[in-house]
Amino acid sequence: MQRRLYTGNDPRRAHSIEELRGMARRRVPNFCFEYVEGGSEDESTLRRNRDVFGEIAFRPRSLVDVSKRDIGINLFGRRSNAPFMIGPTGFSGLLSHEGDIALASAAAAAGVPYILSNASTVALEQVVERAGGRVWMQVYMYRTRDFVAKLAARAKKANVEALVVTTDSAIYGKREWDLRNYARPLKLDVRNTLDVLAHPRWMMDVLWPHGMPRFANLGDLLPPGQDSVRGAASALAKELDPSLSWNDIRWLRDLWPGKLIVKGLIHPDDAARAVSLGADGIVLSNHGGRQLDGSVSAMDVLPEVVDEVKGRLAIMLDGGFRRGSDIVKAMALGADAVLVGRATTWGLGAGGRAGVDRAIEILKTEVDRVIGLLGVSSIGELDTRFIEWARLGARQPSHTKQASVELELQ
């Protein structure tokens, strides 16, 4: 009998993130799935984000009592029940009605943080009130800085724990497979229009009776009547600011009293700069392979960044995490936490809140199993002794360089 993944509609029967991905592909129209799935240009960065995990092997220990295990971590002085969180994913309302609420509620129930996308279709105040838990807010540094200041004020009033400023999208990447779904900007071609009609479950969930989802946190930035997912794209594109610099991070740091996390860094020198400007954390990221094609992955640079700034701010990363073993590898290399994006978004597309719950459950169970098989009882015991990776052997950390950077930052 030939092997095959589960092909039904019940996310509770999925055994892996890949099975949830398949369910999402069947449930939502192609243009929605492709928005989540695709990367930029030849998608070499997208592939690199996954390929890097295959280069890293485990070195387990045996005869260790692992009957009691704890996969929780301490992040910004508070316990998180797993070493990962849900990262910001835009347009979640296109996958399931009030998708942002489903993601945030599932994260709260699991005891992990949730980062609300700047391009969410539910207002941040509603997400915080209805979902509870630890809600962080993603922000882009738009040309209209007054809007950014007002969004930060809203977040403060709503008791949002952290702002996560995304820095790698001052210029849009070219996501060709996404573009091919449209006859002209944001007008589906005939093939994709017919494909929408072939997904009645999605239409009943997302389009009826609510209509096309609308951006709930961008109203002050958009022209009147242009807050729909379809109508806002051109206005948002004009708001992207190629002049974005570290001065803008300094401005936001002075403005925002809560935790400030800089997302989109991929170079150790930038990590050190974030320390000097008072950031509380960084997210190493190449935007899920959706921006610069041919980039290194966050995992590639993680060891260097750990050498540079470990202990001076929280080191987080995203990009290609599909298994609990991927998350454990990052933690063993010195990460403080991992962000997952597509994994939980596929869960959302597969079955709404139930699909997100299942995605989180799968990852938590896998992390627990992996650390037990490695011979450790908690995430805090992990380090590079449990990892075999040629890059580690070839790396020669420069203590002299690190010392010079520390002097420069004083």
Q: What's the mean pLDDT when you consider all of the chain?
A: 93
Distance, in Å, from the CA atom of 84 to the CA atom of 328, rounded to the nearest integer, reads 10
Nearest CA to 99 among 14, 168, 36?
Answer: 36
Which residues are documented as binding site for FMN? Answer: 88-90, 117, 138, 166, 285, 318-322, 341-342
Determine the pLDDT at residue 234.
66
Which residues are documented as binding site? Answer: 35, 88-90, 117, 138, 140, 166, 175, 263, 285, 287, 290, 318-322, 341-342
Q: What is the pLDDT averaged over residues 86-96?
A: 95
Q: 360 lies in a domain?
A: yes
Domain count, the chain: 1
Domain of 261: which CATH number? 3.20.20.70
Q: 370 lies in a domain?
A: yes
Query: To the nearest 10°, the Cα dihedral for 317, 322, 327, 333?
Result: -60
pLDDT top residue among 407 and 88: 88
Q: 211 lies in a domain?
A: no
Catalytic annotation present for 97: no
Over residues 61-76, the pLDDT tens digits come to: 999 999 999 999 999 9
Q: 199 lies in a domain?
A: no
Q: 159 lies in a domain?
A: yes
Q: 274 lies in a domain?
A: yes
Residue of 97, 210, 287, 399 marked catalytic? 287
Q: Would you say residue 409 has pLDDT above 50?
A: no
**Range of 45's domain?**
11-175+237-409
Q: 206 lies in a domain?
A: no
Q: What is the pLDDT averaged over residues 307-331?
A: 98
Q: Would you say residue 152 has pLDDT above 70?
A: yes
Q: What is the pLDDT averaged over residues 203-224?
A: 86
Lowest model confidence (mean pLDDT) among 81-95, 171-185, 372-386: 171-185
Percentage of the chain beyond pLDDT 90 is 83
Residue type, 123: A
Q: Would you say residue 397 has pLDDT above 80?
A: no
Q: 351 lies in a domain?
A: yes
Over residues 96-111, the pLDDT tens digits come to: 999 999 999 999 999 9
Distance, in Å, from the CA atom of 219 to the CA atom of 210, rounded to the nearest integer, reads 18
The count of other CB atoms within 10 Å of the CB of residue 303 is 19
Q: What is the pLDDT averaged over residues 369-391?
A: 97
What tokens were used for 66?
């692992």
Question: Facing residues of 188 across strands?
Answer: 182
Local confidence band at 233 (pLDDT 50, 70, 90 cut-offs):
low
